[in-house]
Amino acid sequence: MSGHGEAIAMVARRGAALRGVAEVPGDKSISHRALILGALSVGETRVTGLLEGQDVLDTAKAMRAFGAEVERQGAGAWSVRGVGVGGFAEPSEVIDCGNSGTGVRLIMGCMATSPITATFTGDASLRKRPMGRVTEPLALFGAEAYGRKGGRLPMTVVGAVDPMPVRYATPMPSAQVKSAVLLAGLNAPGETVVIEREPTRDHTERMLRGFGAEISVEQVPEGRLIRLVGQPELRAQPVAVPRDPSSAAFPVCAALIVPESNILVPGVSQNPTRNGLFTTLVEMGADIGFDNPREEGGEPVADLRVRFSALRGVEVPPERAASMIDEYPVLAVVAACAEGRTVMRGVKELRVKESDRIDAMARGLEACGVRVEEDEDTLIVHGLGAGGVPGGATCATHIDHRIAMAFLVLGLASQRSVTVDDGSPIATSFPVFEALMAGLGADIARVVP
């Protein structure tokens, strides 16, 4: 299933209980960073459990274009021979990051402090997304960026010849912006400092430390202050990628709303900067067991035992938004199947994701018979209780994998089937979604034209 091919309509219908083991793919955020830090290290980094979705494959291709040797050695097993910090070669072709905002923003960061020039593009969805949020802080290091109006791709980044270290307070909670600045700081002399008012996912900091960078994090009155000493020699490391909590969200939420379901989702990352969805679901009354907690690849993981639950609406606090930003679409579906209203505040970042996710979820839920209220920064879903959603609609996905998967999950629990106009973008993050859900007993099929 290609993220760039023609549209593939898909339909989900109510059926039997979901049962079995859901082995979700590796974490997308950590997969991108493993390839990038492997490319910036000296020696061979071996990665296991890498997510082989299109977004990550595009990052692998980009690292090759900058001079690293990147090879697939088996399912999820990859080898990266790096060029060291500051060792990037100038790529001869345009870097196409496909659908991946994480890929393009992190790669811009790690080349911005080398004296090379690179041009970036992506698919129709990525070309609409704002890049100024990373090119502005990268300009402080001395990099220059020339893009389309509104700071959009295609964009050419001219790396700094004599980069300066930077002190930067992120204007919005964004792990991509923070990570781009830290990766740029690797090849700047002295100390680069990033201050985040609200904490965001910390995979970059954990992994930089694992590869031998000198990095410290402390709480100060302004928020989380991260210091990175520039020009380290990063040493190649084995990276075991834990399973992606954002992908796990779909089978977990499906099991909670399909009657009599009982599934096991092993080895899911429990990184506290990523587990806001699970915290919220438990508050709603979800029956989720977090078994066999352990550490893999510097990240906490656990096996999730998930059973069908009678859920109630809750208020999700705005300060939790950064730890579950990608999970709001599927949470909105769960909220539709809960009793009472669920209020999601502090979610304006959703308006500039692969699509305007607040609008996409609101329109699709309304089409399925669910009452929704929204403003710039809030989404309120009026739940209809277990089995109460009428369904029977076709929902527009706007080339957005998470919108597509969220509405397919809704179709498994609604009275009538739910169709999505295009399931092809699912391949960008969760290429085995259809097979995995079918293995649990879900009735999800492609619509034959």
Tens-place pLDDT, residues 416-448: 999 999 999 999 889 999 999 999 999 999 998
Residues classed as catalytic: 326
Assess whether 325 and 415 both reside in one domain. Answer: yes
15 found inside a domain: yes
Domain stops at, among 181, 203, 227 = 227
Q: Tell me the pLDDT band of 1, cut-offs 50, 70 and 90.
A: very low
Question: What is the C-alpha separation between 128 and 150, in angstroms, rounded?
Answer: 9
Average pLDDT over residues 77-101: 97
Average pLDDT over residues 58-69: 98
State the pLDDT at residue 5.
66
User: Tokens 């599934």, residue?
Assistant: 263
Assess whether 252 and 192 both reside in one domain. Answer: no
237 found inside a domain: no
Assess whether 277 and 218 both reside in one domain. Answer: no
Assess whether 53 and 40 both reside in one domain. Answer: yes
4 found inside a domain: no
State the pLDDT at residue 295.
85
Q: Give the pTM.
A: 0.82
238 found inside a domain: no
1 found inside a domain: no
How many residues appear in the chain? Answer: 449
**What would the pLDDT profile of 180-234 be if each residue is shown by its tens digit?**
999 999 999 999 999 999 889 999 999 999 999 999 999 999 999 999 999 999 9
Quote the domain boundaries for residue 169.
28-227
Residue 112 has pLDDT above 60, yes or no: yes
Per-chain mean pLDDT for the chain:
95
Question: What is the C-alpha separation between 421 and 145, in angstroms, rounded?
Answer: 36
State the pLDDT at residue 3.
41
State the pLDDT at residue 2.
38
Assess whether 376 and 419 both reside in one domain. Answer: yes
Assess whether 140 and 203 both reside in one domain. Answer: yes
Domain stops at, among 184, 203, 227 = 227
Q: Are 272 and 323 in contact (CB under 8 A)?
A: yes
Average pLDDT over residues 287-303: 90
Assess whether 163 and 213 both reside in one domain. Answer: yes
Assess whether 112 and 36 both reside in one domain. Answer: yes
Residue 449 has pLDDT above 90, yes or no: no
Assess whether 270 and 171 both reside in one domain. Answer: no
State the pLDDT at residue 221.
96
Strand order in the sheet with 443-446: 394-395, 418-420, 10-13, 443-446
The SS3 of residue 211 is coil
Assess whether 17 and 56 both reside in one domain. Answer: no
Domain stops at, among 192, 227, 262 = 227
**What would the pLDDT profile of 263-287 be if each residue is shown by its tens digit?**
999 999 999 989 999 999 999 999 9
Assess whether 106 and 58 both reside in one domain. Answer: yes
State the pLDDT at residue 223.
95
**Would you list the DSSP string of 247-275?**
HHHHHHHHHHHSTT-EEEEEEEE--TTT-
Assess whether 254 and 295 both reside in one domain. Answer: yes
58 found inside a domain: yes
235 found inside a domain: no
The percent of residues in the chain predicted with pLDDT above 70, rounded, is 99
Domain count along the chain: 2
State the pLDDT at residue 297.
66
Average pLDDT over residues 149-157: 97
380 found inside a domain: yes
State the pLDDT at residue 293.
97
Which CATH number goes with the domain that contains 117? 3.65.10.10
